[in-house]
Structure 1
Amino acid sequence: MRRYSLLVAMTVAIVITVGGLVILESGRMRIASEYETALDAKGATAQLSALAADIATLTAEERAYALAPDAAYKERFDAAQQRVKRTLAAMDTYYRRIGDDTALASFAQISAAADDEIQRGAARFGATALPPRENLATLDAALSLLRLNEEQRAQHALDASRADQRISTLCVGALCALNIVLFVLLFRNLGIQLDKQDRVQKKLITQQEELDRLVSERTRQLEALAWHLQSVSENEKTELARELHDELGSILTASKMDVAWVRGKLKEREPAMADKLARALGSLDQGIALKRRIIEDMRPTVLASFGLVIALRSLADEAARRNGWDIEFDLPDDDVKLGEAIEIALFRVAQETLTNAAKYAHASRIHVALSLDGESVSLHIADNGIGIQPGDLQRTQTHGLVGMRQRVSARGGRFEIERAIPHGTSIRVSMPRERLSALPEPATAYDDADTKSGMRRHENANRPTVSDSTLFYD
């Protein structure tokens, strides 16, 4: 029932509104027509006044010429004569257009009198015999009567337009009153519906906020888990590197020493066996070198021993040597202390960036820059290769890119990768500096044990090998 009443109210409101619009439009058209009539009448009045003035000018110039013949009088007479003719033609068109027969008859008499006056003046200036003068007072009276008629016409049109305006105003008021009543009823029903919708909307908003809170909480948990896993991974790499260095390194070194001793004993008596032992020594050397590369991949000793600046320079130099790049450095002259977590994060980002540049960029020049201020540290690596494609930036399968972003964001930093102009790829990392009262001493480099009894030698002769890292282009 409520829906039916609502439909009826809307239908009635629409019918009343359309009817009111029709009435208002017809009233507007009448008012416009009446205003146009009033304007035409005012214009005709002005033209009649100008016609009377021009006819007076004709008479005055004619009389002045009769008293003192002068060509200037004739020029002014001719100009007034042209104005009179134009005015007579315009007024004739006007009266024929409005269809006022009475006014048209009166104007015909005025036109004839004006022509007579023009002919008299022309005869005067032509020194011919003058026709008898008509009564100018009659001409003036006729013009005054026509002006009065036009003023009355204009006033009548204005009065009619005011009446139509009052009627339109009353119609508008009545329509507004009816529509107000109908719309009050309509909005009352709509208000009930809106209240229901508002309650449902508030419930949905509450549920959405709860979902957003849960998503945000899960996101924080996942970020914390990702950072924890990265930390655990780094710790496990460190522990495994230490075990490989301490245990496997000692075993390989001791085995090498024993094989070398046996080879020395058998070198003269058993040359064939000595050759076999020489090959075994070579295999042990390869195992030791492999152990070093694995340790460097898991925990770069150059970073722990010499700091981030030297580690970045060594990493880039090694990559340039393997790939034939030209390297441009913009690094601090002295080493910087940023904290182990930040240094590891920056080093890993640089490691993965250079690895992928070697595989995909086809570059010939690499730029590596590290800058610091009081609050943050920034790393910038750019190449002049083919550049990363825009579609690759949107792919979710780029685990290397995601890993770098996660590694940087976990330390409160910002990671940006973009296609350089005109070509190439640019990576920028900005991270806040840790403010520590006492920075830990850098860890010493892993050294191979020459003997189990404590003899050690430093592995400076073998520069660390840059390991391949996770891809971020594919």
Structure 2
Amino acid sequence: MVRMVQKVQNLAAATRLNDWMRNRSWAIAMTVAIVITVGGLVILETARERIAAEYESALEARDVSVQLSTLESQLARLGAYQSGFLLTKQAASAQAYCTTAARLRQTAQQLNLYYHRREAGSAGTASFTEIAAQIDARIGAGAAAMQQAAPQPLGLAACGTASDAGLVDTALVDSTLSLLRDNEARRAQHALDASRADQRVSTFVAAGLSALNIVLFILLFRNLGIQIDRQARVQRQLITQQEELDQLVNERTRQLEALGWHLQAVSENEKTQLARELHDELGAILTASKMDVAWANRKLKDSEPAISEKLTRALANLDQGIALKRRIIEDMRPTVLANFGLVTALRTLADEAAQRNNWVLDLQLPADDIQLDEQTEIALFRVAQESLTNAAKYARASQVSIGLQVEDAQVALSIADNGVGIMPADLKRTHTHGLLGMRQRVAAHGGHFDIRRGVPNGTDIHVVMPCVRASVPEAPPAGTSPGSV
């Protein structure tokens, strides 16, 4: 049994150790997964910011490229309006020239601000500065040419200051604008390519994180399945071990109950044998001694008063010895129970206890005696004897009631007092030999023993045992009485 308990304890300890290691390993794995996930989210956020910046750069480069194309088309329209005026001499062409020149200067100013803001001091900025100067010169030269060719003075204030700056290198302006436009187109394409690369990185990172989470979920569910299976196996093993342990405990309990019943039967038999020997042998010896001492006392009463006094004292001692022998016999094997039955024995026991302890008795016993088997009567009598002894020692009661009810299938004994009452902690104590003895004695006969605290106080004991009828014994021989020596 001890090995079985140790086996169950070792199995439970191994299960707790495995659970602890599994929890620690999964804690480490989850920590690593969280770190990787956080790192991936940081990478994704950085990539998102870079993609947004690259898209903005690409859009800006495309806008600049569009503005450069617009600037080139505005230069072309400027030349067309100048040529139209020189051919037709219409003032509308001169006004359109000035309007286009104003737009051209506005576009050039925006581009100039862009290049100085983004590429201050670079070759692109220097090239566009030169282009802006060429454009101003081109506008001024065109306005001067139209003013000279006009039949009458023109209002060209919107075109700015007209100047004869000489010929403007149109081919240089066009090639520089094309070069700048190509640079912006390459910059926009480079930004788009970088953005696509960052998108691919983000896609790979997101796919990796998703795959990692999927793997973790798969491993988690697999581990949960393994853990559930392992726990189920351990649970089944524990249940099996527990059933075996319960079976072993029940078997040992039955053996102990059988042993207890056997010991009680042996004890009762030994008490009966000892009581018989005391009654037959010691009783005869004491009676013969008393008769001899009484005879000697009568013979020496007149002639030897001193010896007669000693003999009288010896007679008194013999009477005390006979009374002590009777009490011992009654405690070991009550003659009242053997000769007159359970009801008379309970009434006699209760009367004697009430006289010793000044109790008020409330007896609810059958009017006629009942015939039960010997072992049942002894068990009920011993329970009543132990209960009254406990009441006298601990209860401090003033009233005791005893009831006995007999039915066809069972007999019930109830004993109650109005004392201080048994404490709830005492009901659970396993080393109270008196209570254990009563429980064991009743359980050995298939009965039920119940003890509880009374209401409002006191102690109530209730015993129910199977009712086994016994044949009516023969009447005792004439001259035999419970008080005989």
TM-score (norm 2): 0.55
Tell me how far apart the structure 1 counterparts of residues 32 and 241 of structure 2 sit (CA, whole Å).
36
Tell me how far apart the structure 2 counterparts of residues 210 and 443 of structure 1 sit (CA, whole Å).
53
Preserved CA contact (<8 Å) 1:389 1:419? yes
Report SS of the residue matched to 2:239.
helix
CA deviation after TM superposition for structure 1 residue 8, in Å: 7.0
Do structure 1's residue 439 and structure 2's residue 467 form an aligned pair? Answer: no
Tell me how far apart the structure 1 counterparts of residues 252 and 345 of structure 2 sit (CA, whole Å).
36
Preserved CA contact (<8 Å) 2:371 2:472? no
Tell me how far apart the structure 1 counterparts of residues 425 and 261 of structure 2 sit (CA, whole Å).
27
Report SS of the residue matched to 1:377.
strand
Q: Which residue of 2 aligns with 1:272?
A: 306
Preserved CA contact (<8 Å) 1:375 1:433? yes
Change (3 A) 1:10 1:297: same
Residue range with higher mean Cα deviation, 405-414 or 209-218: 209-218
Matches within 5 A, 1:298-309: 298-309=332-343
Do structure 1's residue 249 and structure 2's residue 283 form an aligned pair? Answer: yes
Tell me how far apart the structure 1 counterparts of residues 382 and 249 of structure 2 sit (CA, whole Å).
29
Tell me how far apart the structure 1 counterparts of residues 26 and 344 of structure 2 sit (CA, whole Å).
84
Preserved CA contact (<8 Å) 1:305 1:442? no
Identity %: 65
Q: Which residue of 1 aligns with 2:326?
A: 292
- Could you report, residue by residue, the CA deviation over 1:68-91 in whole angstroms, capped at 9, with x for unpaired residues? xxxxxxxxxxxxxxxxxxxxxxxx
Do structure 1's residue 282 and structure 2's residue 311 form an aligned pair? Answer: no
Do structure 1's residue 210 and structure 2's residue 282 form an aligned pair? Answer: no
Do structure 1's residue 312 and structure 2's residue 380 form an aligned pair? Answer: no
Q: Bigger radius of gyration, 1 or 2? A: 2
Q: Which residue of 2 aligns with 1:384?
A: 418
Tell me how far apart the structure 1 counterparts of residues 415 and 456 of structure 2 sit (CA, whole Å).
16
Report SS of the residue matched to 2:394.
helix
Do structure 1's residue 358 and structure 2's residue 392 form an aligned pair? Answer: yes
CA deviation after TM superposition for structure 1 residue 367, in Å: 0.9
Preserved CA contact (<8 Å) 1:304 1:443? no
Q: Which residue of 2 aligns with 1:398?
A: 432
Preserved CA contact (<8 Å) 2:336 2:482? no
Highest relative contact order (Cα 8 Å, sep 6+), 1 or 2?
Answer: 1
Report SS of the residue matched to 1:313.
helix
Report SS of the residue matched to 1:352.
helix
CA deviation after TM superposition for structure 1 residue 368, in Å: 0.9
Do structure 1's residue 410 and structure 2's residue 441 form an aligned pair? Answer: no
Structure 2 counterpart of 1:439, one-letter code: S
Structure 2 counterpart of 1:188, one-letter code: R
Change (3 A) 1:8 1:426: closer
Report SS of the residue matched to 2:230.
helix
Report SS of the residue matched to 1:387.
coil
Q: Which residue of 1 aligns with 2:360?
A: 326
Tell me how far apart the structure 2 counterparts of residues 405 and 272 of structure 1 sit (CA, whole Å).
57
Tell me how far apart the structure 1 counterparts of residues 442 and 303 of structure 2 sit (CA, whole Å).
62
Q: Which residue of 2 aligns with 1:262?
A: 296
Do structure 1's residue 419 and structure 2's residue 453 form an aligned pair? Answer: yes
Q: Which residue of 1 aligns with 2:273?
A: 239
Structure 1 counterpart of 2:382, one-letter code: R
- Could you report, residue by residue, the CA deviation over 1:90-115 in whole angstroms, capped at 9, with x for unpaired residues? xxxxxxxxxxxxxxxxxxxxxxxxxx
Structure 2 counterpart of 1:341, one-letter code: Q
> Any stretches of 5+ residues in structure 1 without a counterpart?
20-176, 448-455, 463-474
Q: Which residue of 1 aligns with 2:230?
A: 196
Change (3 A) 1:5 1:385: closer
Change (3 A) 1:196 1:360: closer
Q: 1:342 aligns with which of 356, 366, 376?
A: 376
- Could you report, residue by residue, the CA deviation over 1:113-172 in whole angstroms, capped at 9, with x for unpaired residues? xxxxxxxxxxxxxxxxxxxxxxxxxxxxxxxxxxxxxxxxxxxxxxxxxxxxxxxxxxxx
CA deviation after TM superposition for structure 1 residue 242, in Å: 0.3
Tell me how far apart the structure 2 counterparts of residues 192 and 460 of structure 1 sit (CA, whole Å).
80
Change (3 A) 1:10 1:185: farther
Preserved CA contact (<8 Å) 2:418 2:459? yes
Q: Which residue of 2 aligns with 1:137?
A: none
CA deviation after TM superposition for structure 1 residue 195, in Å: 2.8
Matches within 5 A, 1:32-111: none
Change (3 A) 1:442 1:316: farther
CA deviation after TM superposition for structure 1 residue 259, in Å: 1.4
Structure 2 counterpart of 1:280, one-letter code: A
TM-score (norm 1): 0.56
Tell me how far apart the structure 2 counterparts of residues 4 and 348 of structure 1 sit (CA, whole Å).
65
> Any stretches of 5+ residues in structure 2 without a counterpart?
1-21, 42-210
Change (3 A) 1:460 1:249: closer
CA deviation after TM superposition for structure 1 residue 295, in Å: 0.2
Structure 1 counterpart of 2:323, one-letter code: A
CA deviation after TM superposition for structure 1 residue 312, in Å: 0.7
Report SS of the residue matched to 1:412.
coil
CA deviation after TM superposition for structure 1 residue 189, in Å: 3.6
